[in-house]
Structure 1
Amino acid sequence: RYPDVIIELMSASTANTDIGAKKDIYEGTFRTPDYFVFDPFNPDSLQGWRLDTNLRYQPLVPNESGWLWCETLGLWLGIWQGTISRETAPWLRFYDSEGNLVFLPEEAEHQRAEAEHQRAESEHQRAESERQRAESERQRAETEHQRAERLAARLRELGEEPDN
């Protein structure tokens, strides 16, 4: 079985072969539905083709972000500027149909850990708020108790028994 999607990372020395002989093989022999080429040292080099009903490659037209749609995967393929493994560069990345970056496993784990940290922080703040509310309620009750004692003392001074 031949691949359904091929993403070729080009270099100056392989570019002609990648968009020439290899592209012809992927189109005519492999019949690979989606073929992309990208030179990591030239962020403007992303190109892609999709087999049409006549089994001929048709060039893909980039969207307003410069991304190419990969029909087979149901994902956009585009350039993302960022750091991976301590290397900051333009990277070829996948985006979902809404344009959200598809995370690498380590990024997904980081996102999960960050969400868990945020949840724990929110829970801590909720508990602190509850503690402060309880303390405020305790102080209010204490103030009310003191006010009641003063009122009872004043009533006794006036000859009244407050408990009756």
Structure 2
Amino acid sequence: MVQIQPPEIPTFPPGDLWSDEPPLETYRHLEELIILLTSLNRFWSDRTDYFAAGNMTVYYSSRQRKDEELRGPDFFVVMDTERRERKSWVVWEEDGKYPNVIIEVLSDSTSSVDKNKKKQLYQNVWRTRDYFWFHPYTLEFKGFTLVGRNYVEIEPNAQSWLWSDELQLYLGVFNERLRFFTPEGELVLTPEEEADAERQKVELERQRADAERQQADLERQRADAERQRADAESQQAELERQRADAERQRADAESQQAELERQKNAILRQKLLELGVNPDEIG
């Protein structure tokens, strides 16, 4: 009788594994990962259904061996999972979930592996939907998405950005850095950029308030000048009226004086006539 042996059940290492990745090659590589991670976490600050990490080991097989070439992804995002801190990404402890999106930041020493060995791993084993690579010095940038069982290169839009259907975001080069963009074309800001934008907004509001205050001051000054001009015109009109009254009074006085002179001459003439003197003969 042939005894059937039960299938061998793979023994997985413990799930609480530390990440085992080498240091990043340059500050620009580090800065790129920080930008990608912090901008996405800020943009999705209200979401708890994803995990994003940079330069972290992904443990995916009980037969996995340390490979000096085949390190973990530079940056990856796993969707539909719990957003919490992890020491590494252990697939068998995460319901078998693999990264949905991977970005490799190329260097001269890793470029060949990223474009070949890793690409095959992500395509054939991990089945990662969207895969991108970017060189922070040459600015080489490409993206691939799974169609069937193979990666197909993503066609760029008019801005040379590449769409990630998993993230529902564009990726594109901006100021020599790989950045996320919204479907509407807005740059996904880092926390520092958002703080700068808020400061600029506050400063613009302050400048606008200052400009409005200055405009109000000018309007008030203009109104004061108009009122002063109107007062001056009113005073001038009053002076003109007083001058006209004075002229009229002077004319009346002269008329009265002339009338008095006429009456006086008439009385004198009458008296002379009464005395028998011809006034016309008096020189």
| TM-score above 0.5, yes or no | yes
Q: How does 1:1-164 map to 2 (within 5 A)?
A: 1-43=97-139, 45-52=140-147, 54-81=148-175, 90-159=176-245
- The change in CA–CA distance for 1:64 and 1:145 in structure 2 (over 3 A counts) is closer
After the TM superposition, which parts of structure 1 deviate over 3 Å for at least 4 consecutive aligned residues? 156-160
Give 1:65 deviation, angstroms: 3.3
CA distance in 1, matches of 2:236, 2:142: 85
CA distance in 2, matches of 1:93, 1:60: 16
Instruction: Note the residue ranges of structure 2 that are not aligned, 5 or more in a row.
Output: 1-96, 247-283
2:208 alignment partner AA: S
Give 1:12 deviation, angstroms: 1.9
Aligned residues: 150
Question: What TM-score do the two structures reach when normalised by structure 1?
Answer: 0.79
1:138 alignment partner AA: D
SS state at 1:117 partner: helix
1:108 alignment partner AA: E
- The change in CA–CA distance for 1:41 and 1:158 in structure 2 (over 3 A counts) is closer
Higher share of residues assigned strand: 1
SS state at 1:153 partner: helix
CA distance in 2, matches of 1:131, 1:111: 30
Mean Cα deviation higher: 54-63 or 2-11: 54-63
CA distance in 2, matches of 1:152, 1:41: 83
Give 1:159 deviation, angstroms: 3.7
